[in-house]
Amino acid sequence: FYYNLVNNMKLFALFILCISVPSALAATGVDVSAYTSQDSFSCLNQNGYIFGIVRGYCSYGGVDPNVVSNIQNSINGGMQNTDVYLFPCYPCGDPAGQADDLVNAISGQGYGMVWMDIEVYAWDSDIGNNQNFILTMANELTNQGQSVGIYSSYYNWQSIVGLGWTGVSQYPLWYAHYDDWMSFDDFTPFGGWNTPAIKQYNGDVSFCGAGIDQDYYP
């Protein structure tokens, strides 16, 4: 009886380990589009969020005035990784120049990746023009030595460039689906991506004195 009990306990412990390891290895993070203090990032970190993604370029066509402060506040607040996102301004033109402006503004700040935020906002009605704009910007960021990623969703991608366009699928995908669920089980392939890197699973949350979106990285 004791032998069987011990073995059953071992098997149960192994089962618990197997089902708990994935969740233990998963990481949660936040992205922010407004000034966020070091104290807020520290509070977020103490509550289990370990990476931050801060806005670096605004849709009106200019570098976010808070980007350097937010990068440093995220780092000094304890975030293990801090990335930046670029919200392009299509009507402003010059996608390479927009990329250069951001890179010059944040040079030497200790950030990781630059994510291009591709969502519905003042894009051209011709998806070919949108494709060329995005590709030019991504190429310029790469030429500038940046680690590039793409933020979008199935329906945004469909509207802006078409689901079948795979021109930037070599970059990691951060996708949005607000189902409040830390899982990729909901993901539908698009744009050449079969597996995403990050999921934005909840938006417009107020926590630790900050306005955040919540993100999941397995």
Which of 94, 100, 101, 119 is catalytic? The answer is 119
DSSP conformational letter for 193 = B
Which of 31, 64, 83, 213 is catalytic? The answer is 31
Residues 6+ apart with CB under 8 A from 150: 115, 116, 118, 138, 168, 171, 172, 173, 174, 191
In one-letter notation, the amino acid at residue 163 is L
- Strands of 62-207, DSSP E: 62-63, 81-86, 113-117, 147-152, 173-176, 198-207
31: annotated active-site residue: yes
Tokens (6 digits) for 140: 């310029």
Backbone angles phi, psi at 51, to 5 degrees: -140, 155
117: annotated active-site residue: yes
Which of 64, 117, 140, 215 is catalytic? The answer is 117
119: annotated active-site residue: yes
Distance CA 181, CA 202 (A): 8
Q: Label residues 194-211 b or e (16+ Cβ within 10 Å = b).
A: eebbbbbbbeeeeebebb
Tell me the catalytic residues.
Answer: 31, 117, 119
